[in-house]
Each structure stands twice: as C-alpha cells, then as structure tokens.
Structure 1
Amino acid sequence: MTLMKQIAIIGMGRWGKNLVRDFSKLSKVKTCVTTGNRKNMMWLQKNYPNIDLTTDINQVLNDSDIDAVVIATPIKSHFTIARKSLESKKHVFVEKPLTKTVDQAEKLIDIAKRNKLCLFVGHVFLYNEIFQKIKKIHKNESIKHANFEWKKLGTFDEDIFENLLSHDLSLNLELFGMPKKIQLNSKYSLLTPIDRFSLELFFGKTRRSEITIDRTSHYKKKTVMITTRKNYYIWDNDELLKFDKKTETYKKIFQSKNMPLYLECKEFIRIISAKNYSVDSAILAKKISSLILKIPK
C-alpha cells in the first residue's frame, strides 16, 4: 500500500487557500505556513483544524515527514523559498512564474536534478480539459491563428507579464513551441506602468498568435479563438464551441467537467508518487521567463 504523501503549503492568500482545498483531497496537508495574518489563520483553523499552522518556514524544512512543499507566495520570494526547500530534499510545487530571472530558474533546475527531486511549476490552464481537447484538434487540423483575450479586474500588486501573460505564454509554447518573434503592439497604464496590452507571437510564416490582456475590466472573461485549416473554434469559459458553416451558428462540442487546479495538483502527486522526478514544467517556466524579458516595456 502506497502511503499518502505529506505536503506543506507556504502562503495562505486566496490562491494558497485553493491549494489547501485541492491538495487535501489528494494528500495529507500536514503544515501551512502563514505570515501571521489573523484572518487567514482563523480560516484555516475553522476549515482544516487538523492542519498545523506556523509562521516559521524552518519548521517545514526541518520536518523529515514532509515530502513536498507547495509555494503560493509573492513572486519575489519564489526563488529563495524553492531553493531552501530543494536543498532540504523536498519536492517543490511553485506557482508561476517560477522566478524573476532565467538565471534563478536555471539554478533551481540544477538543484532539483542534482537531488533527484521534482520541481513543478503551476501553469494551471495547461490542465484545463478544453485545452487538452484543443491539443488534439491541433494535431489533426493544425492551428493557423489563435487569439487569446482575457479581461478581469486586478490584481495590481505584481507585474502583468509575470502574473498574467505567463499563463497564455504557457498555452502557446505547449501548442506551438518557442516563437520566432514577439512583438508588443500596444500598452496602457492605469495604476501600474502596464495594465492593458496587446502583443503578437510569430511562429514562422503561416502561424501567429495574438494575446490581449486587460486587468482594468469591470467584468471577468477569458476567451480563446482558434482558426485551423478547416474550422473555427471558441474556448469560452468551460465550453468549446465550433462554428457550423451550414447553419451559420456555434455549436457546443465539449464541456469540461473537472477543475483545472485539482487536475494539476493530482498530476504533481502522481509524479512524486511514481518517483518520476520531472523538471519539465520548470524548463517551460524558464522559457517563459526568457520570452518575457524580450518584450520591450
């Protein structure tokens, strides 16, 4: 019988709470690390009273029973926490982006490889069941053009490229590989230097992708429009629609059933349980960081 993996989660903000919820279904979340925010501490004690709570990360690093550390903290802290966790022989799941620089990403990948550990980066949209369906469509029909549009409000406390664009770049790189060229077409400022922008990725002569992200919108919506050699598709929330040329209408051809974050957490547990100590998602994260650095700001 395989023993349930023991996990520590560092960071108890909005996303950290989501990770507690899903990892608790798949493993034993032994400890959560918080900055000491009283509201977050009360939330954990109310909803997950059996999980230990601490403000001392060393309690996690020195606990030999903990197999893996999940990091959901501000981006600037990712490198230090991930490095300490890997050096303490813990597998690491870190929310995207992996680090602020390519050099930092390379150092973490080297440590993970040297210690035979999994370094997993949370690009959650890759685990959306609709995206998996789109990958199959691309294999059969070949996508020629993709248009990614994302509207939401905030947050404004992180760089928009690192925090939001990294999601859409992960989808593009998974589908098409590294682009030949990246071009920023427009940018607008409200509270930070860039709060809305549009850019293009060029993957050779016949394939390109457009990405537009606006974090000043009064409503939330994420849409991906895809043109293949034969058809036109729209990914709208949890539905995949296909344009019917005969009726000139859109028809739903697929609907996702499982939450992407749960599937992502499940994949991490599968990897460390199988002792298949992958750094593939970290290598993808490094490529994303290198692309972001090429964008003129």
Structure 2
Amino acid sequence: MVSSPHEAMHRIFQEYPGLFSRVSEVLGVAIPAPTSVTILPTDLSEPRPLERRVDTLLRFDTETDGSFLLAVEAQGKKDPAKPASWAYYLSYLHTKYQLPPLLLVVCQDRATAEWAAQPVHIGPAQWAALTLRPLVAGPHNMPVITNTAEARKDLALSTLAAITHAGDPEVGAILKALSAALRDTPEDLAHPLAELIAQGLGRRPAAHQWRHLMAVDLSFYKSPISQEIREEGRAEGREEGRTQGRAESRAEDLLLVLEQRGMDIPDGARERITHCDDAELLRHWLTRAVTAPTLEDVFTED
C-alpha cells in the first residue's frame, strides 16, 4: 500500500469527483454541481524531453455553465518553482482541451496553504499578462468535524477534512468521529476511505491512532489496512519470539558454564538467570562467568 499523504490528497477526487462541489462550497466559490465527470490522463508532457504531470485531472460537465477542467495538486511544502509549473499546466490544458481550467491545491499545513493561495502575477508589474489564482483547501478552511452524525452526512468531505487536519491537535477527535461514522457504512465505501485516511496521515503521530482504531474495529477485519496491521503484529511477535529464544539459549549457556566451573548455584540465582528475558544482560553475565572468582561477581556491576 502506498502510504503517501500526497496520493491521498488528490486521489480522493478521482474516487469521489462529486466531492469538489462540496469543497468549492466550503471554500466560498459557487461552482455548479456536475452532470457528469470524466477522469482524464494526467500526463501533460510535450514531445520534447520535458515531462510534466498534474496529480489529478478531471473534466466536469454542468447543465448551466458548460464544461470545465479541474486539476488537483497535493502540495506538502512551499516550492518557489511550483507557481510557474501550475501556470503551465493551466495554459496547456486550456490549449489542449479548449475548456476553462481550474486548479485546486490541497495542503496539510497552514503556512503552505496560505502561500499557495497567494495570486501570482505573470508579466511586467505595469500589466500582468497572466494571473494564477488557485483554489486552496487546507487546515485553515476545511471544517473540523468531530461529530459522528456530521461526519456521516458527507464521508468524502469528512475524509478530506481529516487528511488536511492531520497535524492539528484536534485530529484525534476528528478520527474518532470518522471511525464511528465508517463503522456503520457499507464495506465497499468504508474500506477505501479508511485506506485514504491511512495514506493521508502518513508518518504523523495521528497515523498510529487511526491504525489502532481500525485494528480494534471488527468491521474493518478484512480491509487492507487491518490486514497490514495484523501482519505487522505477527512480525513483531516473531521478533519477540526470536528475542525470547536468544534469552533462553544464553541462560542455558550461563548455567552450563557455572556448573562446569564447579560453582554452587542457589535456587534464587538459578531463578534469576532462567527468568531473565534480557538477552544482552545474559550475554554480559555469560562473559563474566568465564573468569569471575565467585557467583556474586557474575552479577556485580562494575
């Protein structure tokens, strides 16, 4: 599974294109609901060896305003080179499809979102030939949904809101509400959204909380993320087993060395050795047992 917030921030619009209508409404831009949506190729390369790819590209058809293109870009940090690339994307799309293009940038931190939202004027200061004005969705304007009933009303929007608030202090409450909402949702809808959330949280601390919520929820027992969690648990169990095996082996070696040296091993000392599960400490004792004049010297710290 690709565990990338970048993927989740734009791919959710491929899986749920109608989400953009709700996002635009949240952002205060009146975009009519589409009558149809077409996922278009994301390769914007030119014949010359210069490859440019937009993250997600969709065509929206509406009854009142005709058709337009939506390019979705997931932006993780400020990048001075990006505005020029975005302007190129929009110009290229307008030329190729002869449709008005719109750029939506999705961010997970406020500073990046505010940077991305700034208009970029291309051209002389006296007369800007082109102005780049992306729509930006991020923690500064996406809703904080901590109520299960509210999350259930629009699961796709709630998922995107959770992803954009991945670094917020309230993300725990957001994830709990969303987990409870998904619990009563059909598997074919709940599981993909759960995967997108796992991707969107990436390596942030909230990711561990989300994985725990999924692991303890039997409704997600067959989902890919739960299977992955169980496999990690099995791997940890195997490692614990190997560690325990090393400890038992070294305890046996230590007792054998002490017996071969003719040392009397009281029950308390024997129990201390056999019950020790620290393989490194047992190795330390074993090293000392070769030359220690008494049993007490084996356990005495330097």
Q: TM-score band (shorter)?
A: under 0.3
TM-score under structure 1 length normalisation: 0.25
Q: Of Structure 1 and Structure 2, which has the larger fraction of its residues in helix?
A: 2
Which structure has more RCO (C-alpha within 8 Å, separation ≥ 6)?
Answer: 1
- Report the structure number with the largest CA radius of gyration: 2
Q: Structure 2 length normalisation: TM-score?
A: 0.25
